[in-house]
Structure 1
């Protein structure tokens, strides 16, 4: 009897403290990278883009200003705790190949506004507002807009692609397959028991973000994606194992989904762009030709 009362008391304490504990555990550290497109001698302009909740996103639009024709543009989203500056290696690759590039800081990241919390669906919201902003730019071809995301940014790109039919393609780099499984792996590595602690954490997160994990899981959203997708994953990624990419690929709806596995590459596969950039550009070129008006 006393054991049951004690257990009930522990559960009540966990429920009461769960919001504070979870927000503390998943708080986002601000990225401190200081590089800019100017560091790489790329032409750009600073931009501020309105997003949800009256917040502003900060980013860079890397493009020549005196273009005669509209060109394809890639909107790029970093991962959790990252920032636009970390994605600059892709900017050089894409710009030199003739693409415009929009690098964004998600809310609570980089120089963008703070908000109450961050989540993968909120990354997707910010990316979507970036796309709508791009459609109004005279240099951008609205029929040839691409997404490129890393980690959480990759999962957000896949979520957004499942909702839209106006994208030319998506490059997903190191996406997880399912957020529940990702967080359960993190809990196991930190010796956090699933019942009742882990279950309470996951339930609280779903309630807070307003979506069930099944709704937003890349292994499920891929079913509803009509544009070409390149799933890129490092074979030695120990944070999000390569099996996640294989799971997403196994659920593909058709031949528009492609899988590129990188040898000797971990989770921070941004750094592998110098070795594998040609394969990314080949995917973009083939997808661009399909959407060239």
Structure 2
């Protein structure tokens, strides 16, 4: 009996350590903004946006005089609005209002217990509701853009709504389970431990991976979708983007692959900003002539 109790205590301790390591390892790093759009010569407003649990989101609104269309841009894991600012430039220059958003636990937004793809999507949906409520004249047409986890959140949010006119996904993984398995393989964990971790994460976030996976959510989106992916992405291989396209042939999907672009190559994606703008123009977004 003493031996059995010792084994049980040891297993409990090991499990506690494993769960603590999981929470620590998957905690999003917080990087606060240091520059503002004014450093690039852009007029902007810092706006607070309410989200769930009484939390507040930090965002920058980059208005364009007379523009009736907008795009909301959401960063990836550990990112912030400043890191996505280069991608806002081609849209703003083309005459589209831009809202750059910090998810909870990121940038200057409020803290919460944990971050996840569904929580990113919750924050995006509250930003959509805020922009439509506070600036109805600027949301005659509305697009969403997200990077990495933010891209998955954009697709999840768009799959729940019928008021989105276009979605742009940058470097999205096809399935959260695939992404986590790629990450966990480096630790050479036994199969049962790997399965335990995957099930535990699904329990914590309150969603099955299969329900929130981009390879699934794109099939529930009515608006056109542009997938953008770097061929040199070693974090989320370009094969994930191709799998999303092949997994739902009936969706309105366009894939743009960028040579030499890695997972966080926002600067190289910016060089293709004219293609992103042209995608929105094809969806009826009115843009201004180049200034």
Q: Same fold (TM over 0.5)?
A: yes
Q: Cα offset for 1:141?
A: 3.7
Give the Å deviation of 1:13: 3.2
One of 192, 200, 208 as aligned partner of 1:204? 200
Q: CA contact under 8 A between 1:58 and 1:112: conserved in structure 2?
A: yes
Structure 2 equivalent of residue 157 of structure 1: 154
Whole-Å separation in 2 of the counterparts to 1:60 and 1:17: 40
The Cα shift of 1:143 comes to 3.6
The answer to whether residue 162 in structure 2 is matched with residue 171 in structure 1 is: no
Which of 98, 101, 105 is the matching residue for 1:104? 101
Task: Could you tell me which runs of 5 or more consecutive residues in structure 1 were left unpaired when the two chains were aligned.
Answer: none
1:231 is matched with which residue? 227
Structure 1 outlier segments of 4+, above 4 Å: 3-11
Establish whether residue 78 from structure 1 lines up as the match of residue 68 from structure 2.
no
In the aligned structure 2, how far is the partner of 1:138 from the partner of 1:129?
14
TM-score (norm 2): 0.91
- Structure 1 Cα separation of the partners of residues 71 and 137 of structure 2: 10
Q: Note closer, same or farther for the CA distance 1:249–1:9 as it changes in structure 2 (3 Å cut).
A: farther
Q: Does 1:213 align with 2:231?
A: no
- Does 2:43 align with 1:43? yes
- Per the alignment, residue 13 of structure 2 pairs with 13
Alignment of structure 1 residues 276-287 onto 2, 5 Å: 276-287=272-283
Q: Check conservation: 1:42, 1:92, Cα contact below 8 A.
A: no
| Distance of 2:243 and 2:80 partners within structure 1 | 27
Once the 2 structures are TM-superposed, how far is the Cα of residue 247 of structure 1 from its aligned partner? 0.7
Please list the CA deviations of residues 79-136 of structure 1 after superposition, one character each: whole Å capped at 9, or x if unmatched. 0000000000012111100000000110000000000000000000000000001102
**What is the CA distance between 1:251 and its match in structure 2?**
1.7
Name the CA distance, whole Å, in 2 between partners of 1:121 and 1:156: 6
Q: Which of the numbers 254, 257, 262 marks the counterpart of 1:266?
A: 262
3-state SS of 1:175 partner: coil
Superposition deviation, residue 199 in structure 1: 1.9
RMSD, matched Cα: 2.2
Indicate the SS of the match to 2:139: strand
More deviation in 236-245 or 249-258?
Answer: 249-258
State the partner residue of 1:130: 127
Length-normalised TM-score, structure 1: 0.91
